[in-house]
Structure 1
Amino acid sequence: MSKVHPFLDAKALSETIDAVRQDRSLGHVTFSLEGKSAGDLRLVSTTGPISQAGNKDESRRGKFTLQSDEPTSLLGTDSAVSPAEYVMKGLAGCYAVTLAALASQEGITLKNIDVELEFDVDLSGFLGIDKSVRPGAKQIRVDVALDSPGTPKADLERLVQRLQEHSPIRDTLANPVDVVTHLR
Structure 2
Amino acid sequence: MTIETTQKPQKVAINGVDVPTFVATLGVVGQQPDIAKFTFRANGEWLSGTHSRTAFPGFFGAMAEQQHRQPHSIDGDHPQVLCGTDNGVTPVEMLLAGLSACITAGIGNIASIRQVKLTSVETTVEGDINLNGILGLDKGVRNGFSGVRATFRIKGDAPDEVLEQIVQQSVARSAVFDVLTNGVPVTVAAIAN
**TM-score normalised according to structure 1 size:** 0.91
RMSD of the alignment, in Å?
Answer: 2.0
Q: Unmatched 5+ residue regions in structure 2?
A: 1-7
The CA deviation at 1:62 is 8.1
Counterparts of 1:1-184 in structure 2, within 5 Å, are: 5-57=14-66, 59-60=67-68, 63-149=71-157, 151-184=158-191
Note the alpha carbon deviations across 1:103-158, whole angstroms, 9 max, x for none: 12222221221111111111111112222221111111111111203x11111121
Taking only the aligned residue pairs, the percentage that are identical comes to 27
The alignment covers a number of residue pairs equal to 182
Whose RCO is larger (CA < 8 A, sep 6+)?
1
> Matched residue of 2:89: which SS?
coil
CA contact (8 A) 1:113 1:145 kept: yes
Aligned to 2:5: none
Gaps of 5+ in 1: none
Does the 8 A contact of 1:30 with 1:50 survive in 2?
yes
1:54: Cα distance to partner? Answer: 4.3
2: CA distance, partners of 1:36 / 1:43:
6
Residue 66 of structure 1 aligns to a residue in which SS? strand
SS of structure 2 residue aligned to 1:137: coil
Tell me how far apart the structure 1 counterparts of residues 148 and 21 of structure 2 sit (CA, whole Å): 32
Contact 2:155 2:163 in 1 (8 A): no
- Name segments (4+ residues, structure 1) moved above 6 Å: none
Q: Summarize deviations over 1:18-75 as a string: whole Å, max 9, x none.
A: 1111111111111101111000100111112210144222x34981121100111111
* SS in structure 2 at match of 1:111: strand
Matched residue type, 2:28: A
